Amino acid sequence: MHILITAGGTAEKIDNVRTIINQATGRLGKEIAAAFSSAPDCRITYIHGPQADLPEKHSNISFFPVGSVQELLHEMTRQLASQPFDAVIHSMAVSDYQMDFAIDGDAFANKLAEELVRRPQDISETELAEDIRQLLRTHAFVPEKQAKKLSSDSRQLILFLGRAPKVISIIKTVQPETILVGFKLLVDVSEDVLTDAALKSIKTNNADFILANDLTKITGETHQAFLIDSGANKRYFSTKQEIAAGIRQAVISKLEERSE
């Protein structure tokens, strides 16, 4: 059995000293690796973010560190192209956004005024909003050269972030036969909202299971979560160990079903 696990969080650089991170200790990925390690003949490919708490080094685990979503996408694509995986367990907290550019607040105001002052005088609010949207999207404000370290002296700093690629969506596209376990983390929502988000992710990404959890229900040793499949069948867990064991069991059952 060969399993690909992603763990920890991605990190999008703003400049050489500042970074936007998606908070994740990596401990859940570590537990999942431990659960699969005990399966006979299991090899694990482990893609992880910076500062993730890692599983112990072992001959059956290969580690691949990544930083940004782009780096994750690159490593994931490379791994999926190089060998078939029985399952991909994508527990990494992946940024939805990546840095487009950073600009000083005053410089932004000047640039925007320069663009907008030429607009026709009878422009409607809707047209003006559309013009501003276009300006923002076409990066009309990008400084010619981004500094290696942003100025420390701006009164206001504005960061523009664009959508990062959805790494999860490529997994089944490249390996339709793999068992895909995705993760959905929301903050302080009802179980219904979490369930809907998980089912939507199953559909969008062609996932076999989603591990759904709520940040407000992860404290100390407690980690409440449920594993849901496309039929909305749920299994509930209260600790990282239970989650890891539950995912392992779900994956192995599915592999056994297929081989029957």
Report if residue 6 touches a second copy, rule: CB under 8 A: no
Report if residue 200 touches a second copy, rule: CB under 8 A: no
Judged by CB under 8 A, the residue of 62, 84, 105, 238 near a second copy is: 105
Q: Are strands 97-104 and 179-186 parallel, antiparallel or unpaired?
A: unpaired
Report if residue 140 touches a second copy, rule: CB under 8 A: no
Per the structure block, which two tokens stand in for 128?
Answer: 């003006």
Per the structure block, which two tokens stand in for 64?
Answer: 């691949």
Report if residue 130 touches a second copy, rule: CB under 8 A: yes
Q: Interface residues for a second copy in 148-187 (CB under 8 A)?
A: 148-149, 152-163, 185-187
Considering the complex, state which of residue 57 and residue 148 has its C-beta at the smaller distance from a second copy.
148
The answer to whether the beta carbons of residues 94 and 72 sit under 8 Å apart is: yes
Judged by CB under 8 A, the residue of 116, 140, 193, 232 near a second copy is: 116
Residue for token digits 């959508």? 163
Per the structure block, which two tokens stand in for 157?
Answer: 């700093």
Measuring CA to CA, how many Å separate 21 from each of 9, 99, 102, 188, 243?
Answer: 7, 12, 16, 20, 24
- Choices 8-16, 39-47, 167-175, 243-251; region in contact with a second copy by CB under 8 A: 8-16
Q: Interface residues for a second copy in 14-33 (CB under 8 A)?
A: 14-23
Backbone φ, ψ for residue 91 (5° rounding)? -90, 0
Number of residues that bind a second copy (CB under 8 A): 58
Which amino acid is present at 146?
A: Q
Residue for token digits 């992603």? 6
Q: Which residues bind a second copy (CB under 8 A)?
A: 14-23, 51, 93, 95-97, 100, 105-106, 108-110, 112-114, 116-117, 121, 123-126, 128-133, 136-137, 148-149, 152-163, 185-188, 215
